[in-house]
Amino acid sequence: MNRWTRTLVIGMGLSLLPLAVTFAQDSPPPEETPEVTPEATPEVRDPTQPPNERVSNTEELLLNARYDLDTLVTALNIAYPFGWSGSADSQDPQLPIYIRLDLELLAGTLLGAENRPVGWFGVVPSSAYYIARDIRHDLELLADAVLPGQPRPSGWLGGAPILRCDRATQALVSFLERNGVFTLSVNPAATDYCAQAANAASVFVELNYLESLAGVVMTDTGFIGMASINSDFAVGFYDRSAAQRAGVIPNGTPIQPLGRSTAQYSNMMLAQGENFVVFVDYQFTSVSAEDFRALPNADEITAELYCDAEWCEQ
């Protein structure tokens, strides 16, 4: 056994122990473990079927990776690395370990013990599905590295194109799609598929979430959004002591609470609206007492007080 192979086998065996525990916890134990026969072994996905739909079945994801690992070895016309398990027993809770170990052995044989493609996920203990997902991701990276510019070998089952992307992109797209607010529509054949996927999901969040948060104030108790004047007697002032009058703010005027006076017994709230930033008694607005108390100290707000609205007293 080569020195690097021995080191890799021992190291991988130790590092994958948490992975075995995770997969065993996620997988319900079989009532009985029958002898595995060709008839009893679940079939991998039919290669004639489109491989680009999202794979949610962990067992299918693992078995397809096993099949493609063997396909890659055959296509490269090389011998299986020493220590290769070749396991495809879906009833064995250690199947992810065997497949990951075989993947690392093959990568070490082809690229060198310490060399891995940029973006390689490696061994990260997680749920069974994400462990299988990581295997598929790294297998695709390895295929790219050893077959640069070439199509996948005949019979390659592959996986959903999103599985090739980095964790951040996958997590964001998955979160949005699972909540039913977003559907990724990027050409799976695009050479920059992952970049397009990341951009599409990011722009969606910016326009639909971050942009909508631009008009809110964050407090210790949460966000305080737009409010309104709900009285015919709401007077705006240039100071919290109500000495410099700006004018009567019309009932129904939208305002954004910014801060509050922290002086004892003061109800004065710093508010921003169209063409004005003034103080107003919060009791003449739709802001609750609880939200008023949660507002930041107006002394810490850098907004300049002014009044250029039609109702302002010049």
For residue 182, the enclosing domain spans 165-214
Q: Measure CA of the first residue to CA of the last residue in the chain; give whole Å.
A: 90
Residues 10 and 159 in one domain: yes
Identify the pLDDT of residue 52.
Answer: 36
Residues 78 and 225 in one domain: no
| 125-166 pLDDT tens trace | 888 889 999 999 999 999 999 999 999 999 999 999 999 999
Residue with tokens 């997590």: 171
| 256-285 pLDDT tens trace | 888 899 988 899 999 999 999 999 999 999
Whether the pLDDT of residue 46 is over 50: the answer is no
Residue with tokens 């055959």: 74
Asked if the structure places residue 273 within a domain, the reply is yes
Mean per-residue pLDDT over the chain, rounded: 82
Asked if the structure places residue 139 within a domain, the reply is yes
Asked if the structure places residue 240 within a domain, the reply is yes
Identify the pLDDT of residue 144.
Answer: 96
Asked if the structure places residue 102 within a domain, the reply is yes
Asked if the structure places residue 314 within a domain, the reply is no
Average pLDDT over residues 109-124: 94
Number of domains in the chain: 3
Residues 97 and 188 in one domain: no
Cβ contacts of 147 within 8 Å, gap of 6 or more: 75, 153
| 53-81 pLDDT tens trace | 333 489 999 999 999 999 999 999 999 99
Residues 264 and 130 in one domain: no
Residues 149 and 292 in one domain: no
Asked if the structure places residue 116 within a domain, the reply is yes
pLDDT band with cut points at 50, 70 and 90 for residue 215: low
Residues 11 and 99 in one domain: yes
